[in-house]
Structures are given as C-alpha cells and as structure tokens.
Structure 1
Amino acid sequence: MTVEIVHHSDARLVITRYSGCHTAADSEHVVKALETRAELSAGFRFLIDLSAVTSVEISRSKRPARVDRMLSAVQQGADKLILIAYYAPLGPGASLASSYQPQWNTQRGVISMASRELQDCATFLDVPLP
C-alpha cells in the first residue's frame, strides 16, 4: 500500500491518504511518522482519505496500541478537541472507516466522523477542500 501524509500547519490539518491494500504495517507507519512531529498537538484536525483503498488485510476490531499511546500523549493537558474525519466513498475503505471511526468517539477529547462525501469532511473539520 501507498501512504501519503501531508501537513498543512497553517490550517492545523494533517491529511493521510491510503491507496491499495491497507495493512497493519501501514497504520504503524503513519503513527510512527506522526509521533516524530512535535508540533502536532490537540487542536490539529485529521483527514483520513480511504477513497483509494482497494482491499484490507487487518483486524478491524481494535486500534493498534501505538495509536492509543500517541493519543494519550497528545491529550496531556489538552484543552482543544482532536477532530478526525474519514473520507471513504465506497468499498473496502468505507468498511474500514465504519469499523475504526466509532472507536475514536470513546476517547476523551476526540470527535470523529466518516462520510462518503469529501465536502462533509471539510465542513466537519472547518477547512477548505484539499
């Protein structure tokens, strides 16, 4: 799978685009990359673009432990919400979004959503369309 991470610091937005077959290693790669970015903190918004995912080879039952560790670190002393939007129009990406997205809403300080429309995600995150 190909993973592209784009930081828009001025908009406090991180866009992660996945394409091809989504695996646990892809998620680990993204989390490792985000862990090294000290400027990422609560108040950043995350757009997860799953529109080009063609298949999924990962257990969808639980987020990787590394994700929970990163989330915990970001939440320390946070007074702003973390917003996560999944753009997943169809197919495997939509299935993946529907299994991951609700898990975020059980975390303090995180609100997430999933949509088949990119405009919905942009509106939720309060950013212009990427």
Structure 2
Amino acid sequence: CALPIYSSFRSLDEDTHPMDVEFCPKCQEVRLAFECARMSCGDRCRGCLHCIPRCEGCGRCITDANDELAETICKDYLCLDCWIPLSKCNQCNRPFCPRHADEETKLRDRSSRFVCLDCQYGSFQYI
C-alpha cells in the first residue's frame, strides 16, 4: 500500500508536491487538511493532524473508540495493525516508526534484540 503524501515527508525540503492549505473543517485554522485512508470514514474524519490523530504507517484516522493508539520510540502514533508486526525494544516494548526503522539496526545486538536509546540512557525522550 502506498503511503499517503502527508506521511511520506516530514520537512518541506524533502517534499516536492505543491502545498494545498485550506481551512480545517474541525478547528477552522488554515492548515493542511487530509482525507482518511480508511474507505468507511468518508468526510467524517477529514481534518488537520492537530484535530485528527493519524497512523504514521498507513495514514488512516485513529479516532474510533475501537481503535487503539500505539506510540513509537520517536513519539509518532501507529494503529495496532501497523504496530503489531514491528520489532519492539526489549525494555519499553515500543517500536521505531517505519521512518526511523534504520535506527533500530544500529542498536541491535548479536541476538537480534534491541534496547532503544531512551532505555539505555534512562531517559524517556527521543532526540
């Protein structure tokens, strides 16, 4: 599945797509407003990233009571479908998001397990 445009790039330097800002239908602020990647939502969860939490992996909204929001080491959010298959830190059980997956390989030991930098240094902020 192709990543939604908004989750493919984090900085304007990396993105070559034209920026289309508009009034967010939820907060009425001028921001990038996205449509959900989930077909059943329609326009119900159309909005900016501040109003509608979205999965960093697949781009779908995480707003239903049945949806669980899973946090990654880098403080991004994933839906459970995207979170479950990722390898997790042996201490805090958080994975790297798909954008930072290459960081995980740097932290692996010979047994193919890893401990994130937060757990290694006793902090809970990823920098």
TM range (shorter): under 0.3
Name whichever structure is richer in strand by fraction. Answer: 1
TM score, norm. by length of structure 2: 0.24
TM score, norm. by length of structure 1: 0.23
- Select the structure of larger CA radius of gyration: 2
